[in-house]
Structure formats: C-alpha cells, structure tokens
C-alpha cells in the first residue's frame, strides 16, 4: 500500500503555474442552473476539457467561490466543475436538512442531470471532505479518484471531545448555542429584507475581512441572503457534535463506510507546525496523534491511499497553496487515466 506522510513533492503539469486566479465577480453570476429535484436547481460552473472530470465540494458555509484560486489551474489539464450546494450561491434552497446524506444525494442527482456520466475525481475540503468520503461509500462506481483537503472525518468529534473537561464541553455547548442565536437573528433580518451589506450587524458579515476586498464583497453579498443563512444554519447543526459525541454527519458517514479498492486517493492536510505554538504542548501532541491516526485509517481504505502535509498551509489549503493542491489533484487524474488504459489493455487481451 502506498501510504506516506510528508511534504508535497515536486510534480509537473504544463500550464498550471501560469494559470490565473479567477476574478470573484465570475462567481457572482449563475453559470449553469441544473434541475435536480423537480424545479429545484443547483448552480454548476465548469471549465476546461477532458476526462475524468474533477468535481469540487466546498467546506461548511462555502460555495463555488472557494475554488477561484484552484479551478483554472486544474482546467489546464482536464474539465473541472465547482457547484453551489442547496441554498448557497446561485442554487435554490432545499426543503430538507443540509446534512451529509442529503448533500450526497444532491450531488448524485446533479451529475446525472448535468450529463456527467463517467467516473469523476471528487475533491472535498473540510466538511466537504466528509461529504466526499460518504459519496465514495455510496457511489464508488461513480468515482475515478478522491482528493480530501484537510477533511472532517467520522468520529473526530468524539475523539477530540475526549480531550476536553466537562467544564470545557459545557462552555463549548453554550458557545454553539450563542452562535446559533446570532445566526437566527441574521436570518430574521434577512427574511424581513432588512439585511444589507451597508447596515448589517458585524455578526452577519465576514469578520474580520479577508485579504482580498473583492472576495470579501462577494462573500458578503451571499451572506446577507436568507437562503444562504438558512442553509448554513442547517449545515452547522448537522456538523455539530451533541451529547452522542459524534455529529449527525459523522454518524451518517460511519454507518455507510466501505473499502475503496484501488481508488486513487490523496489526503492533503494543513501544516501542524502552525498550531504548535497556539495550544498547550501536551494537548497539541495528543490532538495531532488523533488526526494523523484517523487520516491514516482513512487512507488505508484504498490500496492507493496517501497522506501528505502541505508545508506552510493553514486550513484553506486550496486558497493558500493552490498550485500544490492542483498538482496533487492532477496526479490523481493521471493515476485514474492510467487505470483506464490498463483496463483497456486487459480487455483487448481477453478478446
């Protein structure tokens, strides 16, 4: 089994280094709104040509805009599609909960409705990594490869929660309750049409602003929409660990877990060195061991599984180190292409 933990190594794909970040305004307009459930539509934005198609699954509270630094780089080699989950960006809201099972069902429907028939390379960041893992569990035949970027994983809430005292857990529950109350207040204002970028309370906007004013403005145009706030609230509830120790999303993935055969799989993580000085040494060492062991177990579900640390990167690896992430995605694309060619050769021999 090809399992490795280390820094991203040098790979070369012509054109990726010269690719430009996509202007955030491009994501400010709908591209292809695809019907997935009656009249309910999800927004899909695709660039490039080639197979397998790469599909991008963003993290909690994020949409296709999260991939603006990465998408053009991947498009130099193959077709790559980002989409907005229900209620986000230019997608219609859903009447059902925004949990992992429903997200995976929406993505499955979206691929069918958009005519993306062949196996895809699915890329998931953070909570999107858990969604992508559940998609692999349920639809292994639809995948040519899997890339997980600093992903959530099943049982992580329980394992990390074991490090906390009862008092810390109580403060955490109180803090989450306060956050939901703030979200509810923003949702009430948005529903009444009283939420604008100019007059919104700070809790309803991106705060502090990011480094790019244009991205910040585009994010806030999304955040003041009632449908976005409602979808984000639903995702927060599904990813939050309650008294059971695991979140609803984690339980859904754990209950569907499958081995992934020889699926090309890479797990990219943020650099733990960035956290070494922001928490007590003993807590850091134990929490790091929990994460490393969990990601190793996840990688071992494929005979082609690998884990790599992206040196110098925080949680949003695809934004902080887009070239490194693009190269690893394209390495999975090439591995998937080699598997297809190998199968063609075997088929010819069997004639």
Q: In order of start, what are the domains of the chain with their CATH numbers? A: 24-160+253-349 (3.40.50.1820), 167-239 (no CATH)
Look-up: residue for tokens 């890329």? 123
CA distances from 234 to 63, 111, 237, 318 (A): 15, 23, 5, 24
Contact indicator for 134, 101 with CB cutoff of 8 Å = yes
How many alpha carbons lie under 13 Å from residue 88 in its C-beta half-sphere? 25
Contact indicator for 44, 114 with CB cutoff of 8 Å = yes
Return the bridge partners of 123, or none: 56, 147
- The residues near 162 (Cβ < 8 Å, ≥ 6 apart) are none
pLDDT tens digits, one per residue of 192-220? 999 998 888 888 998 777 778 889 999 99
- Residue 127 CA, chain-centre distance (Å), reads 5
Question: Which pLDDT value is given to residue 3?
Answer: 37
User: Using CA atoms, how far apart are residues 318 and 308, in angstroms rounded to an integer?
Assistant: 14
Integer-rounded Cα radius of gyration of the chain: 20
Q: Please tell me the pTM assigned to this model.
A: 0.93
Which stretches does DSSP call E strand in 150-271?
A: 265-269
User: Using CA atoms, how far apart are residues 276 and 152, in angstroms rounded to an integer?
Assistant: 20
First to last CA, the chain: 31
Question: Which pLDDT value is given to residue 349?
Answer: 53
User: Using CA atoms, how far apart are residues 251 and 244, in angstroms rounded to an integer?
Assistant: 10
User: Using CA atoms, how far apart are residues 280 and 269, in angstroms rounded to an integer?
Assistant: 21
Neighbours of 48 (CB within 10 A): 17
Return the bridge partners of 147, or none: 123, 266
17 SS3 class: coil
- Residue ranges for the chain with pLDDT beneath 50: 1-9
Which stretches does DSSP call E strand in 49-171?
A: 54-57, 80-83, 120-125, 143-149
Question: Which pLDDT value is given to residue 140?
Answer: 98
Q: Which two tokens stand for residue 185?
A: 């207040």
Q: Which two tokens stand for residue 46?
A: 């695709």
Closest Cα to residue 179, out of 112, 103, 237, 123? 237
Question: Which pLDDT value is given to residue 7?
Answer: 46
What phi, psi does 74 have (nearest 5°)? -70, -35
Question: Which pLDDT value is given to residue 115?
Answer: 98
- The residues near 115 (Cβ < 8 Å, ≥ 6 apart) are none
10 SS3 class: coil
Question: Which pLDDT value is given to residue 158?
Answer: 83
User: H/E element holding 348?
Assistant: helix 322-349
Q: Which two tokens stand for residue 335?
A: 């591995």
């Amino acid at each position: 089994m090809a399992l490795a933990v280390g820094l991203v190594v040098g790979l070369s794909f012509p054109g990726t280094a010269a690719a430009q970040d996509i202007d955030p305004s491009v994501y400010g307009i709908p591209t292809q709104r695809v019907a997935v459930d009656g009249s309910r539509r999800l927004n899909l934005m695709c660039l490039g040509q080639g197979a397998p198609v790469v599909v991008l699954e963003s993290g909690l509270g994020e949409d296709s805009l999260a991939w603006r630094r990465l998408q053009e780089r991947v498009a130099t080699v193959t077709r790559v599609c980002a989409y907005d989950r229900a209620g986000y960006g230019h997608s219609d809201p859903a009447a059902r909960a925004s949990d992992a099972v429903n997200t995976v069902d929406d993505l499955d429907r979206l691929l069918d409705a958009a005519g993306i028939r062949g196996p895809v390379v699915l890329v998931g960041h953070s909570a999107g990594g858990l969604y992508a893992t559940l998609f692999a569990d349920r639809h292994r035949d639809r995948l040519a490869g899997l890339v997980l970027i600093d992903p959530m994983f099943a049982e992580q809430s329980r394992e990390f929660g074991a490090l906390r005292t009862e008092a810390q857990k109580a403060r955490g529950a109180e803090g989450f309750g306060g956050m939901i109350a703030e979200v509810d207040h923003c949702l009430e204002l948005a529903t009444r049409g009283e939420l604008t970028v100019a007059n919104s309370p700070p809790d309803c906007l991106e705060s502090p602003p990011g480094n790019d004013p244009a991205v910040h403005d585009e994010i806030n145009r999304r955040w003041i929409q009632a449908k976005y706030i409602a979808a984000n609230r639903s995702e927060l509830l599904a990813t939050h660990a309650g008294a059971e120790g695991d979140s609803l999303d984690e339980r859904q993935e754990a209950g569907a877990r499958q081995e992934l055969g020889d699926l090309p799989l890479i797990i990219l993580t943020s650099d733990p060195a960035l956290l070494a000085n922001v928490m007590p040494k003993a807590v850091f060492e134990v929490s790091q061991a929990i994460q490393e062991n969990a990601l190793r177990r996840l990688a071992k579900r494929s005979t082609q599984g690998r884990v790599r640390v992206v040196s110098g990167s925080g949680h949003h690896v695809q934004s902080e180190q887009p070239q490194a992430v693009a190269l690893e995605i394209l390495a999975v694309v090439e591995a998937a292409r080699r598997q297809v060619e190998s199968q063609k050769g075997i088929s010819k021999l069997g004639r």
